Structure 1
Amino acid sequence: MDRVAKLALERAVVVFTTSNRSMCHSVTSLLQQVGWTAIHGWKEPRGREMERELVRMLGGRAPAVPAVFIGGDLVGGTNRVMAIHLAGELVPMLKKAGALWL
């Protein structure tokens, strides 16, 4: 199993991010406001390999971060997460994944 998929399945919410992108900060801030997040940066020894994996998962589109997984499923990046939140679907999705208990 690919490292990205394995990490995504191990936790209810996983955000692959870098510290130097404002959109990464926006997504992580939103997820922290609604209750919970797990963040894995590129500090891992296999970070570049994981980045290539994400680009492949996203159909070759760059940038690959932030990439948000909820319940093991790739939700998408900033635009998709914000759209889900504005539609009122993010909190129910987080609850279903076991990330929120409210």
Structure 2
Amino acid sequence: MDTVRRLIGERPVVIFSKSSCCMSHSVKALICNFGANPTVIEVDKLPKGQQEQVETALLQLGCNPSVPAVFIGQQFIGGAAQVISLNVQNKLNELLLKARAIFV
């Protein structure tokens, strides 16, 4: 849990993902298209024990399902549906600017 909180606190955009998850890929591509450079943690590529710790921590933070889990400006935004919804509402850009993940 401490590792997850530390990462979220140190980076403007953190995405917890799985390399085989198409929704995770879509969320990463969407955020990168704004010019942001998110920190991406591929949970399925972590060592087995660490993988379980991260997934448990994400569930404790309210991420259900555990991936994709997007944090912008140290705030849990949600999964793919929430991020896409924010984009449709033209609010994703504003969040990225506020978090200083993008500057234009």
What is the aligned partner in structure 1 of residue 67 from structure 2?
Answer: 65
What is the aligned partner in structure 2 of residue 6 from structure 1?
Answer: 6
TM-score by length of 2: 0.89
State the number of aligned residues: 100
Measure how far apart 1:101 and its partner are.
0.7
Identity %: 36
Q: Residues of 1 paired with 2:61 and 2:40: CA distance?
A: 18
Query: Unpaired runs of 5+ in structure 2?
Result: none
**Deviation per CA, 1:29-81, whole angstroms, max 9, x where unpaired?**
1011111122111233422201111011117x3x2100000011110000000
What is the aligned partner in structure 2 of residue 52 from structure 1?
Answer: 56
TM-score by length of 1: 0.90
The amino acid that maps onto 1:53 is A
Query: Unpaired runs of 5+ in structure 1?
Result: none
Q: Residues of 2 paired with 1:38 and 1:30: CA distance?
A: 14
Structure 1 window deviating more from structure 2 (41-50 vs 2-11): it is: 41-50
Measure how far apart 1:5 and its partner are.
1.4
| RMSD between superposed Cα atoms in Å | 1.4
Residue aligned with 2:57, SS = helix
Residue aligned with 1:99, SS = coil
Residue aligned with 2:81, SS = helix
- Pairs within 5 Å for 1:9-88: 9-36=9-36, 37-42=38-43, 43-45=45-47, 46-58=50-62, 61=64, 63-88=65-90
Measure how far apart 1:95 and its partner are.
0.6
